């Protein structure tokens, strides 16, 4: 009995170590009960437990300085042992013989030195295992078979070395409680498939700056603990869990509709979490407090309609030049002082709303917007195009005027027909050395195409 005592436990004999196992094994007539239990189907065994027809036994070997679990421990446990606690020991490895504990419903291995869980955990221990605690170990991955734990409802993995929530965890669809505090997580999208999740603890993961949009599908979630994140923005999560989940649910639904409405939320930033939804074709971010649009806006290259009206924008980033599919842009009621030249890349633009800004002129690149039909430049101190062109609301007239202005500045013949002019533009008339009669002639033929 003393042959491995020194290797296993400090300060107790080998027989003392095995006593809890032998007690649990024989206290209820091990052989007779095991034979009876194994004659039942999995469903019959489950109903027996739920109906209280078994007298369940717990084995507690916590705080024993145990270094390894001997084979005898796997052999002696009877079929009515439901819970085993190995908390706060020095165990570094769980042998594959764990498969012999197929009847266990609760396993506690927290506060040890375990580096990996055996694959047998998901192969043979999946019938009744509902509670697994492997917190405060050295785990960085979960076995590929872990998703087979179909009855698992509670999983504690806090204080390990995970860099992300393992994707295989998303296969544990019965999971209701998850603890992954202090794991250095930077990514957690696998949580989105846990539709029955009720409680999730993610505090202490400083690299985690974005909560996954997929959490919006966890409709049973009643408790969610996390540190401050960039997405969703503070304006959302500071309002509480319900507002947070509603926001995530909205963005999750947008993956189907390709349309997202994040208006009137007092947002001060358009977060990377929204910009990563590259499938979006319609985005309404109006009536917020956005002072600028981030560079990551360039990811939204599939947008056809963007509403950023009634914000605090003073300029648009060059990133908007990547929105080459845009047909409708509303940036009215901001503080825009200029537009970036790359706006000319929006060659599919048909509607441009820029009313109530501080624009003094449009960039010459707007001459490329040949499909522009509706434009609103009211309540801007514009000098180019002149007021009679700008206030007409005709996008074609504005584009033709900007083309004429570009031609004039480049020394080419100027065509000012069909520009909506009520007066001859003084800026052109007062330019010395110009061939005015030729350049300002009212041509009746169609405008020539630019190179």
Distance between CA atoms of 25 and 35, rounded to whole angstroms? 13
Give the pLDDT of residue 440. 37
Q: How many helices (H) and strands (E) does the chain have?
A: 13, 14
Instruction: Give pLDDT, residue 432.
Output: 46
Q: What is the pLDDT of residue 1?
A: 37
Which parts of the chain have pLDDT scores under 70?
1-57, 70-80, 124-126, 414-415, 420-451
At residue 325, the pLDDT reads 95
Question: What is the pLDDT, as a whole number, of residue 418?
Answer: 75
Question: According to the model, what pLDDT value does residue 91 have?
Answer: 92
Q: Look at the pTM and tell me if it is higher than 0.75.
A: no
Q: What single-letter DSSP state applies at residue 179?
A: E
3-state secondary structure of 48: helix
Apex 54 CA angle, 53 and 59, nearest 5:
160
Measuring CA to CA, how many Å separate 359 from each of 354, 395, 427? 9, 17, 18
DSSP structural state of residue 187: B
pLDDT of res. 259: 95
Given this model, what pLDDT does residue 257 score?
A: 93
Per-residue pLDDT at 182 = 95
Segment 242-272, tens digit of pLDDT: 999 999 999 999 999 999 999 999 999 998 8
- The predicted pLDDT at position 56 comes to 57
Count of CB atoms within 10 A of residue 50's CB? 9
- Model pLDDT for residues 166-215, shown as the tens digit of each residue: 999 999 989 999 999 999 999 898 898 898 999 999 999 988 888 989 89
Give first-to-last CA distance, the chain, whole Å: 94
């Amino acid at each position: 009995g003393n042959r491995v005592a020194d290797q296993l436990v400090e300060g107790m004999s080998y027989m003392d170590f095995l006593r809890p196992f032998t007690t649990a094994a024989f206290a209820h007539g091990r052989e007779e009960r095991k034979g009876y239990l194994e004659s039942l189907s999995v469903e019959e065994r489950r109903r027996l437990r739920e109906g209280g027809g078994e007298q369940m036994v717990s084995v507690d070997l916590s705080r024993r300085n145990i270094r390894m679990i001997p084979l005898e421990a796997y052999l002696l446990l009877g079929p009515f042992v439901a819970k085993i606690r190995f908390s706060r020991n020095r165990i570094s490895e769980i042998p594959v013989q764990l498969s012999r504990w197929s009847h266990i419903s609760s396993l506690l291995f927290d506060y040890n030195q375990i580096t990996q869980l055996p694959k047998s955990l998901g192969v043979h221990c999946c019938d009744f295992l509902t509670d697994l605690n492997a917190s405060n170990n050295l785990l960085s991955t979960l076995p590929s078979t872990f998703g087979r734990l179909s009855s698992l409802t509670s999983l504690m993995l806090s204080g390990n070395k995970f860099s992300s929530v393992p994707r295989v965890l998303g296969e544990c669809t019965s999971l209701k409680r998850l603890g992954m505090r202090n794991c250095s997580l930077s990514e957690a999208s696998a949580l989105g498939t846990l539709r029955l999740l009720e409680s999730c603890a993610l505090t202490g993961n400083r690299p985690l700056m974005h909560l996954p949009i997929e959490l919006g599908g966890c409709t049973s979630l009643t408790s969610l603990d996390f540190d401050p994140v960039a997405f969703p923005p503070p304006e959302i999560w500071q309002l509480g869990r319900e507002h947070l989940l509603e926001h995530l649910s909205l963005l999750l639904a947008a993956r189907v509709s390709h349309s997202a409405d994040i208006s009137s939320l007092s947002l001060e930033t358009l977060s990377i979490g929204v910009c990563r939804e590259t499938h979006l074709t319609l985005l309404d971010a109006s009536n917020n407090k956005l002072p600028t649009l981030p560079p990551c806006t360039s990811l939204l290259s599939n947008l056809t309609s963007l509403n950023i009206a009634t914000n605090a924008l003073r300029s648009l980033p060059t990133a908007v030049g990547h929105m080459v599919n845009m047909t409708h842009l509303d940036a009215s009621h901001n503080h825009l002082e200029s537009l970036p030249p790359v706006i000319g890349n929006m060659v599919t633009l048909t509607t441009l709303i820029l009313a109530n800004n501080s624009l003094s002129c449009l960039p010459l690149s707007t001459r490329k917007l040949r499909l522009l039909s509706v434009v609103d430049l009211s309540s801007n101190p514009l000098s180019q195009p002149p007021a009679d062109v700008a206030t007409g609301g005709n996008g074609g007239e504005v584009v033709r005027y900007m083309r004429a202005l570009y031609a004039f500045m480049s020394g080419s013949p100027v065509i000012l027909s069909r520009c909506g002019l009520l007066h001859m533009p003084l800026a052109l008339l007062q330019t010395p050395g110009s061939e005015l009669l030729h350049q300002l002639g009212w041509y009746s033929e169609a405008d020539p195409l630019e190179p």
